[in-house]
Amino acid sequence: MADTAAGATTEPGQADPSRRDFIHIAAIAAGAGGAAALVWPFVDQMNPSADTLALASVEFDLTKVAEGQQVTIKWRGKPLFVRNRTQKEIAEAVKDDTASLPDPQTDAERHKDGKAQWMVLVGSCTHLGCVPTFGGGDYGGWFCPCHGSHYDTSGRIRKGPAPKNLVVPEYEFLSDTKVKIG
């Protein structure tokens, strides 16, 4: 087909081959383009739906959490740790700012200014998503039972397979005793 077009040896009685080529290419392009355009809706339907996205923020009353206590709430289907840290925990976290950290961050970067006692973390291990427990591990913070990741009192990864610190979600203080997460 292409040869005939290039050589321009149009046989009598036949339509101009370049016109036929054009129709073939146009038809294939339209078909392929249409199919490609249809792929996205079929993939995107898997992504979070509007009602799932609508439930994305929660408010929490901090007066429920005494010093040295931790409350776990459910946020976006995952556990969320709200921890009222003791002075000792804060001091340990600040002291380790200069230690060698796999995912370097200072303690101050992980809490709101002037609210060092409040640590708000997504309670989902950054390795494979298990829920770490507080009090275990070598660094006084959280320990993930699944594959042995150790986090310190600031929720920073110190040892084990997890690559990142426990995630600090987007949150703000609505008042001194109330936070809005998400």
Partner 1 sequence: MSGHSTYEPKTPVTRWLDSRLPIIRLGYDSFIDYPTPRNLNYWWTFGAILSVCLVSQIITGVILVMHYNPSAAGAFASVEHIMRDVNYGWLIRYMHANGASMFFIAVYIHMLRGLYYGSYKAPREVLWILGCIIYLLMMATGFMGYVLPWGQMSFHGAVVITNLLGAFPIVGESITTLLWGGFAVDNPTLNRFFALHYLLPFMIAGVVVLHIWALHVAGQNNPMGVEPKSKADTVPFTPYATVKDAFGVSVFLILFAIFIFYMPNALGHADNYIPANPLVTPAHIVPEWYYLPFYAILRAVPDKLGGVLAMFGAIGVLFALPWLDTSKVRSMRYRPMAKMYFAILLVVCIILGFCGAKLPDDHVIPHLTTFRVIDADLNSFVWLSRFATLYYFGFFLVILPVLGLVEKPLPVPETIASPALSHPASAPDGAVAAPEMKG
111 is catalytic: no
Alpha-helix residue ranges (DSSP H) falling in the chain: 2-7, 17-44, 50-54, 87-95
Our finding on whether 52 is near partner 1 (CB under 8 A) is yes
Q: CA 27 → CA 33, 37, 91, distances in Å?
A: 10, 15, 70
H-run or E-run covering 28 = helix 17-44
Which stretch, 7-15, 17-25, 93-101, 138-146, contacts partner 1 (CB under 8 A)?
Answer: 138-146
CB of 26 to partner 1, least distance (A): 33
Could you say whether residue 131 binds partner 1 (CB under 8 A)? yes
Q: Are 62 and 174 in contact (CB under 8 A)?
A: no
CB of 79 to partner 1, least distance (A): 5
Q: Which residues are catalytic?
A: 147
Residues of this chain that interact with partner 1 (CB under 8 A) are: 43, 46-49, 52, 56, 72, 74, 76-79, 123-124, 127-131, 144-148, 161-163
